[in-house]
Amino acid sequence: MFSPVYRITPAITKALMSIEADRQVVSDLPIDVTVLASLRETARLVSTHYSTQIEGNRLTQAQVKEAIAGARFPGKERDELEVRHHYRALEEMERLAAAGEPLAEGQLRRLHGLVMTGQSKPTPYRDGQNVIRNSRTQEIVYMPPEAKAVPGLMSDLVEWINQQLNEGDLPVPVIAALAHYQFATIHPYYDGNGRTARLLANLILHKAGYGLKGIYSLDEYYARNLAGYYAGLTIGPSHNYHLGRAEADTTGFLDFFCVGMADAFSAVRAQAAKAAKRGAQDQSGLLRNLDPRERRLLELFRRNGTATAAEIANHLKLSHRTVVGLCRSWLKTGFLELQNRSRKNRAYRLGQAYLTLIE
C-alpha cells in the first residue's frame, strides 16, 4: 500500500492550526444565502480559470465566465472546451462529496472523463509510457511508472485514502495533500493528470467536512505560485519513478499545500465575517441539499420569478426533453410548483420551502 514519506514541520503545524480555527469560525457564522450562492459560483469560476491556466489555457477569468455561459472565442475553441469540461467536473466533484460514499477508482476515472471530454464516462488508464519534458530544453523532467504498474498503484492510493479518512489519525489537509502528490506522481493518464489531481484533493476535503461551504479555491494559490507548486512535486534523487521518486520525502509539497490552504481559509473567513455583520440568516443547510442544477436555477427564479421548461433548458444548457423529466421530478420533491397549469404556456415557480433562498 502507498506509504508516503513526510515530516510534520512547525510551519505545517502552524498552517493546520490556522485551518482548523478558520474552519470552525466559518461553520458557525451565518452567511446570507444570496451571498453564499454568489461566492460559490465565484469559487467555481476561479477554480476553473486557474486550474486550466496552469495547463496553458489562454482564456482570461472574464472569458471563462462567458465561455461557460455559451460564448464563443474564435481561435480558442480548445480553451473553451477545457473550461466547460472543468466546470462540469467541479459540479460532479461536489455531487460525489455530497453523496457521502467511500472514494472509488471509478469516481476518479469519471472526473477525468469530464475533464477531458465533458462526459462522465470513466476513462481507461494509459496503456504506454509517457515522459514529461522541459518545454524549452526538451530534457526529461519526470518519467512516471510503467503502464502495467498504474492499476495497482491507483488501487493502493484509493485504499489508503479511504483507510486514512476512516481512521482519522492524519489531519484531513495532510491526506488531501499526499493524495494530490501521489496521483500526480503515478500520472495514470497521458493528459489531464494535474487537473484531476487537484479535483481529487478538493473531493477529499469536501467529503471530510473541509468544503467550507464551497466558497474557496486552492487553484489560484497554485497558479500564482507555480514555481513552488512544481518544485514541491519534483523531488527525489532521480527523475525516474522506479529509481527513487516513489520513496522521496514529500514534506516540501505538504508544506506548500497546507500553507496555501491556510491562506485560502483565512480569506474565506474574512468574507464570511462581512456577511455575518449584515445580520443575515444562515440558510446554507437548505442550499446544501440542492444539487448543482437546482442551485443554478435559483439565479433564474431570482431574476424572473417564474420560468417555462424552455427557459429552464436554455439556462441549464440541457435538452427540452431532459428538462421536462427533471421538472416532473422537482414537482414531486416540492422544489418546483406549477405557476400556470396550461399545457401550452406551462410555467413553474420555486416551491414554498425554497422561496427564502431567493428573497
Please indicate, yes or no, whether residues 233 and 309 belong to a single structural domain of this protein. no
Q: Is the pLDDT of residue 214 over 90?
A: no
Cα torsion for 37, 281, 355, 271, to the nearest 10°?
Answer: -10
| Segments forming the whole domain that contains residue 17 | 10-277
**Residues 349-358 pLDDT 10s:** 998 888 877 7
Is 58 domain-assigned?
yes
Residues 110 and 190 in one domain: yes
DSSP of 29-82: S--BHHHHHHHHHHHHHHHHHHHHHHTT----HHHHHHHHTT---TT-HHHHHH
pLDDT digits (tens, 9 = 90+) for 89-100: 999 999 999 888
Evaluate whether residue 5 is within a structural domain: no
Give the 3-state secondary structure of residue 232.
Answer: helix
| Inter-residue contact 316 to 297 (CB < 8 Å) | yes
Q: What share of the chain is helix, strand, coil (3-state, %, to 5)?
A: 65, 5, 30
Give the CATH number of the domain where residue 316 resides. Answer: 1.10.10.10
Q: Does 331 lie in the same domain as 199?
A: no
Residue with the bigger pLDDT between 341 and 41: it is 41
For residue 223, pLDDT over 80 is answered with: yes
Q: Does 320 have pLDDT greater than 60?
A: yes
Residues 86, 90: Cα–Cα separation, whole Å: 6
Shared domain for 243 and 352, answered yes or no, is no
Residues 212 and 348 in one domain: no
Q: Are 237 and 336 members of one domain?
A: no
Give the pLDDT of residue 346. 86
Predicted confidence band at 197 (pLDDT cuts at 50, 70, 90)? very high
DSSP 245: G
- Residue 359: pLDDT over 70: no
Whether the CB-CB separation of 111 and 174 falls below 8 Å is answered with no
Whether residue 302 sits in one domain with residue 254 = no
Q: What is the pTM of this model?
A: 0.78
Least reliable range by pLDDT among 165-169, 173-177, 182-186, 268-272: 268-272
Same domain, 263 and 332: no
Tell me the average pLDDT of the chain.
89
* Confidence check: pLDDT of 308 > 70: yes
Element containing residue 141 per DSSP (H, E): strand 140-142
- At 106-126, the pLDDT tens digits run 999 999 999 999 998 999 999
Q: Report angle CA 134, 258, 248 to the nearest 5 degrees.
A: 50
Establish if 282 belongs to a structural domain. no
Domain count along the chain? 2
In this structure, the answer to whether residues 199 and 320 fall within a common structural domain is no
